[in-house]
Every structure is written in C-alpha cells, then in structure tokens.
C-alpha cells in the first residue's frame, strides 16, 4: 500500500502548485483522504484503476436496455431466468450471473405472485348415487351416517380429520392422521 502523506502535500503547499494534478483531482484526493483516513485503506494503483474504470464506456449498455425492455414488457413478472430465455430467443448469449448482476444494478426485482391453493383437480372417482336427497334429518339413531375429510395445517404439518357422524348430532367415531 502506498501511504501518501496528505498532511505534507496538501496542507503545506497550495492546491494549485501541485505538479501534474489539476484542482479537481486534488479535491478528489482530499475527499478520499477524509473518507479513508490518514493510513489510506486503498492502494494507490487501485485508486487510479477505479478512477480510470469510471471513465470507460459501459460495455453492457445495450444489454441493460434490452433487460429493461423485457422486464417492463412483461410488467415485472419475469425473473432473471426468463429474461435470459428471452435474450436467447433474440440470439443474445449472456451468462445468467451477468443478467442477475445487471438486474440488481438496475434495481429490477420481479413481482412474485402468490399462488392460490387449488384443491379441486376434477373428478377423481366415481360419483355415488344421491341416497339422502338433501334430507339430512333423522328420526332415529343410526339411521343416517355421513363422513367428511378435513385438512388442518398445524405448525407446518398437515393433519387430516375424518369423523363419522350420525345425523342426530352425534359423532360415532373419528380418525386423525
């Protein structure tokens, strides 16, 4: 690491008398010194490397525009993998990590839709004949029985309750699994 003695250079001489540096560069060095302290946490070569990199044109400018276009075309629903697929459909080959990084730089996050639970999957078995014909009142015990399967979510586990009920408001038996 190169420890530049800012105290000697900047405070004992005037800013305009420094050789090879213009006023804006020296002011950048002063702000760097204030940010990183007297010991300089960054090597001198690294400081000038990053300064040079900031002046170079962005090599991903076109791809960033395409990513924004695809993202907004699909109303923010596409994540980086689907954006990669769209770019590949346009014959643009790019690494998925690069697309993810560029999306983070651009501040693009997909809107995650919550999937609703759908328990109905069509007819699974044979339809049983309607014997009760919606007459759910019983005059005597053990005349009409029915069962139901109910799913409960308890502490992240699924429990199933299957009671057998008599239509005289009695539970005959139940099974909990």
**Which runs of E-coded beta strand occur in the chain?**
145-147, 150-154, 157-166, 170-176
> Per-residue pLDDT tens for 13-62?
444 444 555 566 666 666 666 566 555 566 778 778 878 888 889 999 99
| Burial status of residue 9 (CB atoms within 10 A of its CB: 0-12, 13-18, 19 or more) | middle
pLDDT at 15: 43
Closest CA to 67 of 23, 103, 39: 103
Q: Which residues touch 137 (CB under 8 Å, ≥6 apart)?
A: 167
Q: Please enumerate in sequence order all residues whose Cβ is within 8 A of that of 67, keeping only pairs 6 or more positions apart, or say none.
A: 83, 87, 99, 102, 103, 106, 108
pLDDT tens track for 48-60: 887 888 888 999 9
**What mean pLDDT value characterizes the chain?**
80
Q: With beta carbons less than 8 A apart as the criterion, state whether 161 and 176 touch.
A: yes
State the DSSP code for 132: S
Q: What is the CA radius of gyration of the chain?
A: 36
This prediction's pTM: 0.43
Q: What is the mean pLDDT of residues 92-99?
A: 94
Eight-state DSSP code of residue 10 = I
């Amino acid at each position: 690491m190169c420890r530049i003695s800012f105290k000697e250079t900047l405070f004992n001489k005037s800013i305009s008398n420094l050789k090879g540096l213009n006023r804006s560069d020296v002011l950048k060095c002063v702000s760097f010194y204030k940010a990183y302290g007297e010991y300089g946490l960054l090597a001198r070569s690294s400081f000038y490397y990053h300064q040079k990199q900031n002046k170079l044109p962005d090599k991903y400018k076109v791809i960033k525009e395409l990513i924004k276009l695809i993202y907004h075309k699909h109303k923010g629903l596409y994540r980086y993998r689907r954006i990669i697929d769209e770019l590949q459909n346009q014959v643009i080959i790019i690494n998925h990590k690069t697309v993810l990084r560029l999306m983070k730089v651009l501040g693009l996050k997909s809107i995650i839709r919550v999937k609703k639970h759908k328990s109905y999957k069509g007819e699974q078995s044979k339809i049983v004949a309607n014997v009760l014909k919606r007459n759910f009142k019983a005059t005597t015990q053990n005349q009409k029985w029915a069962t139901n399967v109910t799913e409960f979510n308890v502490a992240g586990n699924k429990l199933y309750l299957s009671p057998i009920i008599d239509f005289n408001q009695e539970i005959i038996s139940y099974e909990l699994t």
